[in-house]
Structure 1
Amino acid sequence: MSAIAALPFLPDAVIFDMDGLMIDSERVSIACWSQAAQELGLPIEDGFWLRLVGLGDRDCERLLLQHIEAGQVAALFARCHDLYEARTHAGLPLRPGILELLQLLREHDIPRAVATSTRQPRASRKLAASGLLAFFDVVVTSSDVAHPKPAPDIYLLAARKLGKEPARCLALEDSPAGIRAAVGAGMTAIQVPDLVHPDEDLRALGHRIVGSLVDAHALLLPHLR
């Protein structure tokens, strides 16, 4: 594996995706989609659910409508929502290295925001239940923008709420849709793939790709000594 390029500067702010990056929730989400589809007798193959990772509700609906009818999509969303709420009520596991990274940024007074495709109030509930909410100055969700990821709106709004230039912000993402959003916003982006790994088209964006949040932590350290 080739060496990861050093970060060009100490970021003025760091903006985090939530699901799959900080919280180990994508596997739970896919399991809920699959269970809901099976209960409703919908003819959707299990491999399809990976296509929904990182997308907002509208884009998920658009993809589902290619396979099932509108009424079935509504029923699927409702059942999946109930299953997901039941499984996430007590909080979800954290991805390795996230607490150490957030503590490092807080110790150095680097502002932090969340930019997530999850809508409110679920986003804040998940962050609070996982013990992460207090680490962030700003939480921006797909409820706050007209166009969710892969559009750059969420990241641009997060930077604006922090009072920082997008070009001076670092974005951390796991999904292809999130990376396209962050790069489209003009930010330096690091991808920590979870369930969906970057293909050649995504790699052509030129962002940094690392194996874990521990690796992302290591990229920041030279600027903090």
Structure 2
Amino acid sequence: MLNNFQAIVFDMDGLLLDSETIALATFVEACKECGYDLHDMEPYYKCIGTNWPKATQTLISGYGKDFPFDAISEVWGKKYHDETLTKPVPVKEGALQLLDYLEREGMRKVVVTSSRKENSVIKLTNAGLLNYFEFILGGNQIENGKPHPEMYLTAAEMLNVKPDKCLAIEDSDNGVLSAYNAGMTVIQVPDINQPSDKVKALGHTIMSSLTDIERLLKQDS
């Protein structure tokens, strides 16, 4: 299967790095510290995979006028950055093995993430993963974040590879929609939230781990 592609485009948070669990835990802590009764997680789940402006809009509209966003985002941001920028974030199961396999095969690899590029470089450096990738495209470098296809279209342009010759690997629904609408083949490895029925209807491949993806790519290659 690997022979069908010229490049593989990876998401970062929740796929390569176990950072989405940290984001969720610190969000819950921030809400508690700010005295907000977090009764519904659905608005939070909807913002997974999006950039900060889109996440802000989703949280405010989802939780309503009584949601103290400014106070919570300040506490949340500090907690999250303390946990993800000052110490290594755990690497997801199978990530190193998959990257090593792709390295041996000479496959081009890049990261497309909704996180800011500078923060992403720190995270990947601390995790020992940065040197695997040709470039990092961050959410602050484009106009329209996921689920808009701009990020993946931009990555394909930077690679000088047609989108249909790229394999995108994502964990979130927003990321899947972005890559799918850019014309890429997509494999999803769900993290803290399972794919919606709408996303399942796309007919893309859904797998339980990066280890499973490595096995799949080795078939017929």
Verify same fold: TM over 0.5: yes
**Cα distance, 1:19 vs. partner?**
0.6
- In the alignment, does 2:158 pair up with 1:164? no
What TM-score do the two structures reach when normalised by structure 1? 0.91
Q: Percent identity?
A: 33
- 1:28 is aligned to 22
Deviation >4 Å, runs of 4+: 68-71
Distance 1:8 1:108, change over 3 A: closer
Inter-partner Cα distance in structure 2 for 1:121 and 1:192: 25
- 2:77 is aligned to 81
Of 100, 109, 113 in structure 2, the residue corresponding to residue 112 of structure 1 is: 109
Structure 1: stretches of 5+ with no match in the other structure: 1-6
What TM-score do the two structures reach when normalised by structure 2? 0.93
- In the alignment, does 2:46 pair up with 1:51? yes
Inter-partner Cα distance in structure 2 for 1:206 and 1:72: 39
Aligned residue type for 1:73: F
Q: Select between 90-99 and 197-206 the one with higher mean Cα deviation.
A: 197-206
Aligned residue type for 1:139: I
Cα RMSD of the aligned pairs, angstroms, is: 1.7
Inter-partner Cα distance in structure 1 for 2:108 and 2:51: 25
Aligned residue type for 1:157: T
Aligned residue type for 1:10: N
**Cα distance, 1:33 vs. partner?**
0.8
* CA offsets 1:26-75 (integer angstroms, 9 cap, x no match): 11000111111111112332624333221211221112222255993222
- 2:88 is aligned to 91
What SS does the aligned partner of 1:121 have? helix
Matches within 5 A, 1:1-225: 7=1, 9-45=3-39, 47-48=41-42, 49-66=44-61, 67-69=63-65, 72-88=68-84, 89-224=86-221
What SS does the aligned partner of 1:112 have? strand
* CA offsets 1:169-217 (integer angstroms, 9 cap, x no match): 0000011000000101100000011111112211111111111111111
What SS does the aligned partner of 1:21 have? coil
Structure 2: stretches of 5+ with no match in the other structure: none
Aligned residue type for 2:81: E
Inter-partner Cα distance in structure 2 for 1:113 and 1:158: 8
